Amino acid sequence: MTYGSCVGSKFYEDGRVRRFHGNTVVSDITPACSAYNAMCTLHKMVLEAGLDDYYIQLPADSYHMTLIQGINDENRGPNRWPPALPLDATMKDADDYFTAAIRRAVLPGKVRMKFHEVKATKSCVMAYLVPADEAEEKILRDFRDRAAREIGLFIPKHESYRFHISLAYTRVVPEGEAAERVAALVAKMNEYLAHQPEFFIGEPYIAYFRDMFAFSSQRIER
C-alpha cells in the first residue's frame, strides 16, 4: 500500500487532518455559485464509485480557488519562503508580512471561470479551471505577478500555475482494479463538467488556515 504524497504533512495515515499553518489568497466557491453544485456532484460520484477509502474528501464549505499560494509553516526552504522574512520567523510574523504584501499588490475583483478537467494524482483530486476569456486571464496573471513581486517570492512553476478547486486529497494511491475504477470515474467527471456553465468566483480575499479543512478571512491565533 502506498500513501498519497500529502500524508505525513497535511494528513495522518488514517485520514485525520494534521496541523498545517499558513496563509494564501482564495476565492470561495459558495452555494450561490453554480460551481458549488458541480463540486458536490463530483463528491457524490466518488462515494458512488466506492472509492472513498482512497481519498480524504474536503468539506463542501471549504471549496475554493487559490489565486496565489502564500507562506506555510512546513516549507521554510529555498523557493518557498521569502528571503526578506527570517527563516525562524513566527507564523504571526509570516501573516503580517504576507498580509502587507497582498494589500500592496491589490486584490482583483470577481473573475469569470469555467471548468476544464479533473485530474486524480498521487497527491489529490482537482477540478482544473481556466479563465473564461483572455481578459479574465490577464487579470489573474497580472495579480499573481504583482503579488509575487511584493512577497519577494516566485515559487517554482509560477508562470505555468493552473487554477483549480481541490475536491479531495489522496490517502492511499489506487492500484490495479481500483486504479481502473478511478480512471473510469475521472472520465465520467470530465464528461459531466463539459456541460457546466461559466461562473464567477467569489470575491478574492487573504485567507489564514491551521489545516486543509478551513480557511478564514480573519486573522487566527498562532
pLDDT tens, residue by residue, 18-36: 999 999 999 999 999 999 9
Could you give all domains of the chain from N- to C-terminal order, each with its CATH number? 22-214 (3.90.1140.10)
Instruction: Give Cα 29 to chain centroid, integer Å.
Output: 11
In sequence order, the β-bridge partners of residue 136 are: none
Asked if 70 contacts 22 with a C-beta cutoff of 8 angstroms, the reply is yes
Please name the residues in contact with 26: beta carbons below 8 A apart, sequence gap of 6 or more: 64, 65, 66, 67, 204, 205, 207, 215
Length of the chain: 222
- Location of C-alpha cell 488556515: 209
Q: What are phi and psi of 68, to 5 degrees?
A: -155, 140
pLDDT tens, residue by residue, 134-171: 999 999 999 999 999 999 999 999 999 999 999 999 99
Distances (CA, A) of 144 to 23, 74, 78, 141, 157: 15, 22, 19, 5, 12
**pTM, whole model, 2 decimals?**
0.94
> How many other CB atoms are found less than 10 A from the CB of residue 93?
14
The CA angle 168-60-165, to the nearest 5 degrees, is 50
Asked if 201 contacts 165 with a C-beta cutoff of 8 angstroms, the reply is no
pLDDT tens, residue by residue, 68-114: 999 999 999 889 999 999 999 999 999 999 999 999 999 999 999 99
